[in-house]
Structure 1
Amino acid sequence: MSTAANAPGRPISVEADPAALGFDPTRLARVDEHFRRYVDDGRLAGWQTVVARRGQIVHASEYGMADEEAGLPVEADTRWRIYSMTKPITSVAALMLWERGALELTDPISRWLPAFAEPRVYLKGSSTAPLTMPSPEPIRVWHLLTHTAGLTYGFHHAHPVDELYRARGFEWGVPAGFDLAACVDAWAEMPLVHTPGTEWNYSHATDVLGRLVEVVSGQSLDTFLQTEILDPLGMTSTGFVSDDPSRTAALYALGPGRKRVRADAMGEPFLRPPTWLSGGGGMVSTAADYHRFVQMLARGGELDGVRLLGSRTVAYMGRNHLPGGQDLEQVGRPLFAEMPFHGVGFGLGVSVVLDPSAYRTLSSVGEMAWGGAASTAFWVDPVEEVTALFLTQLLPSSAHPIRSQMRSLVYQALVD
Structure 2
Amino acid sequence: MKKNAFRSLLSLLLLLLLLPGRAQVLPQALTPEVVGMSASRLERMDAFLQKAIETQQIAGAVSLIARRGHIVQHKTFGFQDKEQRIPMQPNTLFYIQSMTKPIVTAGIMMLYEEGYFELNDPVSRYLPQFEQAVVGKYVEEGSEMKLVTEKASQPITIVQLMTHTAGMLHGLGSSELDKQYVQKLYFQPHKTIAERVDALAALPLVDQPGASWHY
Give the TM-score band, short-chain normalised: 0.5 to 0.7
Q: Do the aligned partners of residues 49 and 180 (structure 1) sit closer, same or farther apart at CA in structure 2, a change above 3 Å counting?
A: same
TM-aligned CA deviation for residue 189 of structure 1: 1.3
* CA–CA separation in structure 2 for the residues paired with 1:10 and 1:47: 20
Q: Pick from 113, 116, 133: which aligns with 2:150? A: 133
- Aligned residue for 1:8? 26
Q: Pick from 55, 70, 90: which aligns with 1:37? A: 55
- Aligned residue for 2:16? none
Given the alignment of the two structures, is residue 89 of structure 1 paired with residue 106 of structure 2, yes or no? no
Q: Do the aligned partners of residues 45 and 35 (structure 1) sit closer, same or farther apart at CA in structure 2, a change above 3 Å counting?
A: closer
* CA–CA separation in structure 1 for the residues paired with 2:92 and 2:52: 21
Identify which of structures 1 and 2 has the higher relative contact order when contacts are C-alpha pairs closer than 8 Å and 6+ apart.
Answer: 1
Q: Do the aligned partners of residues 94 and 30 (structure 1) sit closer, same or farther apart at CA in structure 2, a change above 3 Å counting?
A: closer
Given the alignment of the two structures, is residue 161 of structure 1 paired with residue 174 of structure 2, yes or no? no
- Aligned residue for 1:193? 206
TM-aligned CA deviation for residue 135 of structure 1: 1.2
- What SS does the corresponding residue of 1:164 show, helix, strand or coil? helix
- What SS does the corresponding residue of 2:55 show, helix, strand or coil? helix
TM-aligned CA deviation for residue 149 of structure 1: 0.7
Q: Do the aligned partners of residues 183 and 30 (structure 1) sit closer, same or farther apart at CA in structure 2, a change above 3 Å counting?
A: closer
- Deviation per residue, 1:244-294 (Å, 9 max, x gap): xxxxxxxxxxxxxxxxxxxxxxxxxxxxxxxxxxxxxxxxxxxxxxxxxxx
TM-aligned CA deviation for residue 114 of structure 1: 2.1
* CA–CA separation in structure 2 for the residues paired with 1:66 and 1:28: 17
Stretches of structure 1 that go unaligned for 5 or more consecutive residues are 1-6, 203-416
Mapping of 1:375-414 within 5 angstroms? Answer: none
Q: CA RMSD in A?
A: 4.0
- What SS does the corresponding residue of 2:188 show, helix, strand or coil? coil
TM-score by length of 1: 0.36
Q: What letter matches 1:94 in structure 2? A: I
Q: Pick from 111, 118, 128: which aligns with 1:114? A: 128
* CA–CA separation in structure 2 for the residues paired with 1:100 and 1:125: 46
Q: Do the aligned partners of residues 58 and 28 (structure 1) sit closer, same or farther apart at CA in structure 2, a change above 3 Å counting?
A: farther
Q: Is the 8 A contact 2:49 2:61 kept in 1?
A: no
Stretches of structure 2 that go unaligned for 5 or more consecutive residues are 1-24
Q: Do the aligned partners of residues 99 and 64 (structure 1) sit closer, same or farther apart at CA in structure 2, a change above 3 Å counting?
A: closer
Q: What letter matches 1:137 in structure 2? A: Q
- Aligned residue for 1:63? 77
Q: Pick from 65, 87, 96: which aligns with 1:73? A: 87
TM-aligned CA deviation for residue 164 of structure 1: 0.5
Given the alignment of the two structures, is residue 147 of structure 1 paired with residue 160 of structure 2, yes or no? no
Aligned residues: 182
Q: What letter matches 2:132 in structure 1? A: E
Q: Which has the larger radius of gyration?
A: 2
TM-aligned CA deviation for residue 123 of structure 1: 3.6
Mapping of 1:155-234 within 5 angstroms? Answer: 156-170=172-186, 175-202=188-215
- Aligned residue for 2:20? none
